Amino acid sequence: MQFALESPAFPDGGEIPKRFTGDGADVSPYLRWIDLPEGTQALAVVLKDPDAPSGPCYHWGAWNIPPVARGLPEGHHPVGGGREALNDFHRRGYAGPRPPRGRGPHRYRFRLFALPRPLDLPEDADARAVELAAEPQALAVAELSGVYER
């Protein structure tokens, strides 16, 4: 097997259920990963909408998630020393999809980074900073995409 990210809430490329959007309960879906790369010491996750009208919009970021976790429960909050980043809505934590009405479906990408060491970021780091810090040092990156339309 290879490093992968999945959710029982929706298949890769499938429609994100309303519960996990800004039109629903606005809670993060359960995410689970398989086959962490050897040497993984920390994980980071980012959710972004690459189809936002003004450029990529970051809906969520979390870093320094312990690798002993097998996933993140629905409605995730930092566990075991993990931290949550500020999203592009100036809030800490998850902000579900809520694209402009009538503009067609938007793609949302969950990216999970397997890291060789914890990220050294300030407490007020935003999700974009998490991605920028994690990407160059990642042992591997797993992705899960979903779509949502209003």
Q: How many domains does the chain have?
A: 1
CB 140 within 8 A of CB 3: yes
Which residues of the chain have a pLDDT value below 70? 1, 77-81
Residue 27 forms beta bridges with which residues?
A: none
CB 36 within 8 A of CB 114: yes
For residue 41, what are the domain limits? Answer: 4-148
- Please name the residue ranges forming H helices in the chain: 127-134
Question: Residue 1: what pLDDT?
Answer: 65
Question: Residue 121: what pLDDT?
Answer: 97
Tokens 């991605």 -> residue: 131
CATH, residue 55: 3.90.280.10
Tokens 């993060």 -> residue: 28
CB 142 within 8 A of CB 3: yes
Q: What is the DSSP letter of 56?
A: -
Question: Residue 80: what pLDDT?
Answer: 57
